[in-house]
């Protein structure tokens, strides 16, 4: 193939690539759902500065879904109220997100009975929260055809749910609970606890009298002071690296 034809083909691919990416970014901006731009969705409430990224996952029963202020709902997140669309679920909300809730990409919140998620709870990607689970009582019927069991789910404020965590019907998480990645949680979890495993067990807990038990393995992070600029942070990092190199040199044998 002549060289100029290769050059033209490469240029065309670059132009098409840029156009595709520019078009996708435009679609993401235009397709995001907010209180001002709800599209086809009519939530029971959606607070200011709350945003559902595009593309959205499966969403139905939105009149019984209430979203607080400053929530971040990532791409492909499923939010459902009721077992199927177009049901009348009564006067009370079924799924309630507090202010500042973050749901990571590909998460699912399935509310066949009430689910509440407290303020400032953050969820990693692929978190699954459900108020309904399949039953398997009848050994002669396929599990998927048996009538499910439902129980309310309550997640307290300030929690962190790691990637792939599963919260089962009837779970009640207290304040500032940490759920490890991949953990499967049922039952009650007290305030300031860390749970891990399937089924999840408490692996660390904070008490006012004793602090964290077992003790934390790493020091508490020091917050960045107000007014510190990125340039100052870089300068501090460079100074720390220089001091580390000096100490290593001083420790080398002559």
Q: What is the pLDDT of residue 86?
A: 82
Structure tokens at 159: 């929690």
pTM tops 0.75, yes or no: yes
Q: pLDDT of the chain along its 254 residues, tens only?
A: 455 556 657 888 888 899 989 998 988 888 899 999 998 999 999 999 999 999 999 999 999 999 999 999 999 999 999 988 888 888 899 999 999 999 999 999 999 999 999 999 999 999 999 999 989 999 999 998 999 999 999 999 999 999 999 999 999 999 999 999 999 999 999 999 999 999 999 999 999 999 999 998 888 888 888 888 888 888 888 888 888 877 777 655 54
Q: Residue 109: which of 158, 171, 48 has the closest Cα?
A: 171
Three-class SS state of 27: helix
Alpha carbon of residue 136 to chain centroid: 30
Q: Residue 95: which of 142, 226, 159, 103 has the closest Cα?
A: 103
The values of phi and psi at residue 149, to 5°, are -105, 140
- Rounded-to-integer distance, Cα 43 and Cα 118, Å: 18
Q: What is the pLDDT of residue 7?
A: 66
Gyration radius (Cα) of the chain, Å = 25
- Rounded-to-integer distance, Cα 1 and Cα 80, Å: 55
126 within 8 A of 106, measured Cβ to Cβ: yes
Three-class SS state of 72: strand
Q: What is the pLDDT of residue 6?
A: 65
Which residues carry out catalysis? 134
């Amino acid at each position: 193939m002549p060289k100029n034809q290769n050059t033209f083909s490469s240029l065309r691919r670059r132009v098409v690539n840029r156009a595709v990416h520019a078009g996708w970014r435009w679609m993401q901006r235009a397709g995001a759902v907010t209180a001002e731009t709800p599209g086809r969705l009519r939530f029971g409430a959606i607070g200011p500065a709350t945003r559902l990224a595009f593309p959205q996952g499966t969403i139905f029963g939105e009149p019984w879904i209430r979203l607080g202020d400053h929530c971040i709902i990532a791409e492909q997140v499923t939010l459902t109220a009721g077992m199927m669309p177009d049901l009348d679920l009564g006067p009370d909300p079924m799924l309630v997100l507090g202010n500042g809730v973050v749901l990571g990409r590909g998460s699912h919140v399935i509310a066949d009975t009430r689910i509440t998620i407290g303020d400032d709870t953050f969820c990693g990607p692929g978190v699954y929260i459900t108020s309904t689970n399949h039953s398997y009582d009848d050994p002669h019927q396929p599990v998927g055809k048996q009538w499910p069991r439902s129980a309310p789910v309550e997640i307290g404020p300030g929690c962190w749910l790691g990637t792939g965590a599963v919260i089962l019907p009837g779970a009640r998480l207290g304040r500032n609970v940490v759920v490890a990645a991949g953990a499967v949680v049922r039952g009650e979890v007290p305030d300031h606890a860390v749970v891990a495993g399937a089924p999840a067990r408490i692996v660390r807990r904070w008490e006012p009298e004793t602090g964290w038990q077992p003790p934390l393995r790493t020091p508490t992070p020091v917050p960045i002071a107000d007014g510190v600029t990125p340039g100052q942070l870089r300068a501090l990092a460079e100074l720390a690296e220089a001091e580390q190199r000096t100490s290593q040199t001083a420790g080398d044998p002559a």
